[in-house]
Chain A
Amino acid sequence: MTAEPILRARGIVKTYGAVVALDGVDLDLNAGEILAVIGDNGAGKSTLIKCLTGAEIPDVGNLEVAGSEVHFRRPQDAHAAGIETVYQTLSLAPDLDIASNMFLGREIRRRGPLGGVLRMLDHKRMRQLAAENVSKLGIRTLQDITQVVETLSGGQRQAVAIARAVAFGSRIVVLDEPTAALGVRETAQVLDVVTGLREAGLGVILISHNMPNVFQVADRIHIQRLGRRIATISPESHTPAEAVAIMTGATSAPAHVGALSKEDRP
């Protein structure tokens, strides 16, 4: 791969008072690749992707999207750069229905003066598009697009959040433990969708504690430990057991693999 990484982070530091959540983390993501991020609870995985997607502003460090430096100050900035995220907390408004959540912050207005002058929303169109996006995920139990999110199960909520990210992500999709609440069948479907994003040339960051899933779909695996990236491995170079050993500090970390960028090469 000679192209620039689609996302490149260098030296990301994030502290919360005395807590150091990220201690100088680097990350590279190529277009058309799935990068898994694994690590123990509290290793800084969620904080890392928040810093990459505008949800948190890193204390130090820089970020490049497709070769140009960016400074995301809020999630909208990342959205504008084509980056969509399923946060671990899902970020859905419980009192709004599925369709409203799907288009929250980027509602579609009616055409003509009703939309232009009166700023009226096109509820019908948003519902229709939301239904299409949800059905693409193949979650059978999600049928009524006007159902209030509060009344959905954890897995159904996750499906809505994933459908939203997939619908709007044009460059990068970031998923923080997207399948944690999903059944076996639904998980397989989401992994299908994720590999579909890779085929479409998007970059995908997937955080998961599920090693079989990670080894099934990931091209490379970023291992996060105590706020640092201690290794980047690939499913070919290591076994799941070795990955867990590195993650927990039982074995020492190998060098980073993957043709990331020129200066990382030997």
Chain B
Amino acid sequence: MATTINTELSAAEAFKTRPLTPLQRVHRILHLHPEISPMIALVIAMLVFQLANERFLSPGNISLILQQVAVVGSLAVAQTLVILTGGIDLSVGALMILVSMVMGSLVGLTGLPGPIAFAIGILVGLLAGLLNGVLVSVLRLPPFITTLGTLSIFLALALLMSNGVAIQGEKLGGFLLWTAVAFSVGPFNFTVGVILMLLMYVGMGFVLHQTGWGRHVYAVGSDPLAARLSGINTRRVLMSVYAVAGVLVTLSAWILIGRNNAATTSAAVDVNLDSITAVVIGGTSLFGGRGALLGTFLGAITVAVFRNGLSLARVDVLYQTLAIGILILFAVALDQWIRRAGVKG
């Protein structure tokens, strides 16, 4: 009899090697590849919006979506780093505005050359990130409260500096506005800002997956005590994550200036929450340790696609926000489901 071939398997071993149910199979695949769920959400959304309006997938509209996503998408790179450590950063949006005001004022008001203003902007971003890092890793304050505090500080500094006056594009010079320079590839229209955002994903993706530091970021988010006992300087890793986030935010500020053709405090108020939304929809766990930048990129695109597609379908802005809210809850519930119940077998 054919069934007697497996006699060396005990009953328990046979039970362990039983075929997985389809749901378990899905669960397992999603667990191993966190970027699959945002990918599916994105594809479905694109199909639906294409059916609603055939202009949706036109090269012109795709180019527009990419330009619309550049600021939030770049900010979400920094946000992903912080969330991977199990933290959250409410201050990246405010810091971006502060840094854009610093760079804009240095060029527009004091006449400093763009590259020097940019270097100073990097320094400001680094110092602000270090401030968050010290508060979180040395003083051990919860990241949520810490960055809520620095959010107010950065925003207040930006407002104090600008006096509520925006610095318009004609005063900003070529370097700061370089991110707005557009060029075409076939029927598509890109800006330097979009390319910069893509480079941020590629660069940080490399660092996260190919270097020891990247492994340590995941380890610290996964289990800080285990990371410490394994010989990782968890404090230094946390500090460096916030510092790197600060520097990345400077690049976002550069993209922001190009996108607005101005340095202004009135821009981009809800970008911070959007960056968190992108990370969460992208399948990165708010508990830290699990996720990837590819997911965040898809998450950022998904949010932009929702906003753009719903407006093309002439859906009211309020309903767009409603839809994105539902999307977030769905993503978080999915994360919980994937995370719960260890994948056995």
Contact indicator A151/B229 (Cβ below 8 Å): no
B104 within 8 A of A: no
Cα–Cα distance between A119 and B232 once the two chains are bound (Å) = 17
Which residues of B, 202-237, contact A by the 8 Å Cβ criterion?
206, 210-213, 215-216, 218-219, 221-223, 225-233
CA of A148 to CA of B32, assembled, Å: 8
The interface on chain A, measured as residues whose beta carbon lies within 8 A of the other chain's beta carbons, has a size of 29
Q: How far is the CB of A18 from chain B (nearest CB, A)?
A: 22
Cβ of A104 and Cβ of B232 under 8 Å apart? yes
- By a CB distance below 8 angstroms, the chain A residues around B109 are none
Contact A91 B289 (CB under 8 A): no
Interface core residue of A79, A100, A118, A121 (most chain B CB under 10 Å): A121
Question: SS class of chain A's interface: helix, strand, loop or mixed?
Answer: loop
Given contacts A105-B216, A121-B210, contact A95 B222 (CB under 8 A): yes
- Cβ 8 A contact of A93, one of B210, B211, B213, B222: B222
Residues of chain B within 8 A of A57, CB atoms compared: none
Give B274-325 interface residues, CB cut-off 8 Å to A.
289-290
What sequence of 0s and 1s flags, for each residue 229-273 of chain B, a beta carbon within 8 Å of any chain A beta carbon?
A: 111110000000000000000000000000000000000000000
Q: Does A106 contact B (CB under 8 A)?
A: yes
Give the tally of cross-chain contacts (CB within 8 A). 89
Closest-CB distance, A159 to chain B (whole angstroms) = 16
The range of chain B's interface size is 20 to 34
Q: Is A197 among interface residues, defined by CB-CB distance under 8 A? A: no
Residue B22 lies at the interface, judged by CB distance under 8 Å to chain A: no
B198 proximity list for chain A (CB < 8 A): none
A209 to chain B, nearest CB (A): 22
User: Are B218 and A93 neighbours in the complex by a CB distance under 8 Å?
Assistant: yes
Report whether B215 and A96 are in contact in the complex, using a CB–CB cutoff of 8 Å. yes
Complex Cα distance, B221 from A100, in Å, reads 14
* B residues in contact (CB < 8 Å) with A: 31-32, 206, 210-213, 215-216, 218-219, 221-223, 225-233, 289-290, 342-344
Q: Residues on A close to B: CB < 8 A?
A: 55, 74-76, 79, 85, 87, 89-96, 100-101, 104-107, 109, 118-121, 148, 150-151
